[in-house]
Amino acid sequence: MELSVFFAGTGGSVPTQRRGLPAILIRRGGERILVDCGEGTQRQLLRSVGLTEIDEIFLTHLHADHWLGLPGMLKTFDLRARELPLRIHGPRGTAELVDGLLRFAGRTTYELRIEELDGGELLERDGYDVLPVRVSHRGPALGYVFDELDRPGVFDPRAAVAAGLTPGPEFGRVQRGETVRGVTPEQVMGPVRSGRKLTISGDTRPCDALCEAAYRSDLLIHEATFAIEEAQRADQTGHSTAAQAAGIARDAEVSLLALNHFSIRYPVRVLREEARAVFANTVLPRDFDTIELPFAERGEPRLVRWEDQQPPAAEAEF
């Protein structure tokens, strides 16, 4: 099953000519999960991979640059006659926020299911869990860990026959975990293969709880608002430097670190250099870049630049 992360907006606080406000689209099989929804997110998607239906939305926190795109997107789904309920998760205050916004923007006819999280609640989904982690920003803020369930090891039919099983229903039963005529699954299956793990920090100071939760993630997406020279300001405003983000990646032993939420103060190469000095396998996605997360046996997570992806067919208009 394909798993990838699409960077719909990689800026922070204010948009720039090149970077939209925070929004990350997780694509797993046919599922579409949005993490944060800065102003303009619906149009960022329209201009790139298309604005498909979103199955679930996770807000990291309630600062305006992370949700101002929500009411417009919810209204667009409504104009398209969406019928499926939409789940929206976020820290305490999310329900009041969404309710307040829609009082002005107008209600949706489809149902919104708002769930407020404190961090620590394990949300079980089909084939993966979502773990919200309380992080350290100004006001309630969450990181999220998306953690696929382990997959059974690879079945070895020759070993099964050698152990005395007959091809057919017996093979199926042992693969599903049953001991069949004394033959245990362990005898005929390879080692359990772990699922993929993706951690998103949201806005935060360097945070031990997040570092722990991110342990051995295939991909950590961590904010890097400031450069080292403004470490004090980062702390005061509840943000991280690129080097601090890289320190979390190193300590959590992740495979790949992707930085986002850059201040407009510096050229991003400054942040890239500072981060790579601490953790070499660091990338700084631009808007519309994708990170593909293959299963471990099929390769490493890798950044694919937007210009290397198939451009969508131009919209016929004139």
Catalytic residues: 65
Q: Which of 22, 71, 195, 301 touches its own copies (CB under 8 A)?
A: 71
Instruction: Say whether residue 69 binds its own copies (CB under 8 A).
Output: yes
Instruction: Say whether residue 276 binds its own copies (CB under 8 A).
Output: no
Instruction: Say whether residue 158 binds its own copies (CB under 8 A).
Output: no
Q: Which of 29, 30, 85, 100 touches its own copies (CB under 8 A)?
A: 100
For its own copies, give the closer residue by CB, 69 or 238: 69
In angstroms, the CA 9 to CA 42 distance is 11
β partners of residue 259:
222
In angstroms, the CA 241 to CA 224 distance is 5
Instruction: Say whether residue 64 binds its own copies (CB under 8 A).
Output: yes
Instruction: Say whether residue 149 binds its own copies (CB under 8 A).
Output: no
If one counts every other C-beta atom within 10 angstroms of the C-beta of residue 303, the result is 18
In angstroms, the CA 160 to CA 225 distance is 55
Q: Are 222 and 185 contacting, i.e. CB atoms less than 8 angstroms apart?
A: no
Instruction: Say whether residue 236 binds its own copies (CB under 8 A).
Output: no
| Residue recorded with tokens 């993490």 | 35
Q: Are strands 128-134 and 219-223 parallel, antiparallel or unpaired?
A: unpaired
Binding mask 11-50 for its own copies (x = CB under 8 A): --xxxxxx-xx-----------------xx-xx--xx---
Tell me the site size for its own copies, rule CB under 8 A.
39
List strand residue ranges (DSSP E) for 119-226, in order: 123-125, 128-134, 142-148, 197-200, 219-223
Residues 101-130 binding its own copies (CB under 8 A) are: 101, 103-106
What burial class does residue 176 get, using C-beta atoms within 10 Å of its C-beta: 0-12 exposed, 13-18 middle, 19+ buried?
Answer: exposed
Q: Which of 81, 182, 307, 318 touches its own copies (CB under 8 A)?
A: 318
Q: Which stretch binds its own copies (CB under 8 A): 140-148, 240-248, 253-261, 310-318?
A: 310-318
Q: Which of 282, 145, 143 is nearest to 202 (CA)?
A: 143
Instruction: Say whether residue 234 binds its own copies (CB under 8 A).
Output: no
Which residues of this chain interact with its own copies, rule CB under 8 A? 13-18, 20-21, 39-40, 42-43, 46-47, 62-65, 68-69, 71-72, 75-76, 79, 97, 100-101, 103-106, 267-269, 315-318
